[in-house]
Amino acid sequence: MTSSSMRSGDLSQIPCTPVNEGGRVPPGCIVTSQRWKGSELVKTLKGRLKVVIEDNLGVIDFHPSNEAGVIYVSETDLVAGSNFKQKIAKLRKANSLRGIVIAELTPVSNQYYGELQKFVILELGLRLLFVSSQAEAANLLIQMVNEEHKPHANPFLVKRRKQPIDAVVLTLVQLIPNVGPVKAKHLLQKFGSIRGISNASEEAIAEVVGKSKASNIRSFFLHKTSLFANQPPSVT
């Protein structure tokens, strides 16, 4: 299926991928960019899911649901330093879309792990997952599709368990100037994620770390956001 309503790179249209009436991604389906047609990854997906190929998904590689968009960064992308950063920055601007980055972590690309982690998680506040191969990535995407469409239990009958703070995310928060381990932990407990911190108001942050540090934190994230404000609009 080809979307005539979606222009390449137009992220505002991505949550309405027209794979069926109503613009929803049906249960058991995944929408895939044309660039992955014939790949090992898609061949693996086809054994477990219905794969819908779209040729105008812009920067997005996969839609496990119409609320989630996935960009895949291959070993070659990492080593060559191609335009994947621009693509990920564009994904970050799609406020109505939950952005996820999957990257190949291999002996060759391992040296770029730290830099990519800081860029995706700390600077952009997106979710980053590492895989060792396209086959492993396919299994991860299958899990996402199954989870996205899983019937949820009655929230009034199930108590939510408090999620432990990821040690890697905690370390990354401490890269913000003048934020130590204690303040970093309190910020994550309050706002849930780095993206939550970056979207919080200065007043809300001040309730956790004080007015002076709150001003520094807001300045830090505003500066990082401005780095990607003028990216070329033609990245696909």
Residue 118's domain is classified under what CATH number? 3.40.50.10130
Are residues 120 and 171 part of one domain? no
pLDDT tens for 176-210 read: 888 888 888 888 888 888 878 888 898 999 898 88
Are residues 178 and 126 part of one domain? no
pLDDT at residue 25 in the model: 79
CATH of the domain at 180: 1.10.150.20
pLDDT at residue 72 in the model: 95
State pTM to two decimals.
Answer: 0.64
* In-domain check, residue 37: yes
pLDDT at residue 228 in the model: 41
Mean pLDDT of the chain: 76
Return the beta strands (E) in the chain as ranges: 29-33, 50-54, 62-65, 68-73, 98-104, 127-131
Are residues 92 and 29 part of one domain? yes
pLDDT at residue 136 in the model: 92
Are residues 137 and 53 part of one domain? yes
Are residues 141 and 57 part of one domain? yes
Domain that holds residue 95: 11-148
Are residues 103 and 34 part of one domain? yes
* In-domain check, residue 34: yes
* In-domain check, residue 153: no
Are residues 173 and 91 part of one domain? no
Residues of the chain with pLDDT under 70: 1-23, 82, 95-96, 148-168, 224-236
Bridge-partner residues for 68, per DSSP? Answer: 65, 98
Domain boundary residue among 148, 178, 199? 148
- Number of structural domains found in the chain: 2
What residues have CB less than 8 Å from 126, skipping those under 6 apart?
Answer: 88, 91, 92, 99, 100, 101, 120, 195
Are residues 135 and 18 part of one domain? yes
* In-domain check, residue 97: yes
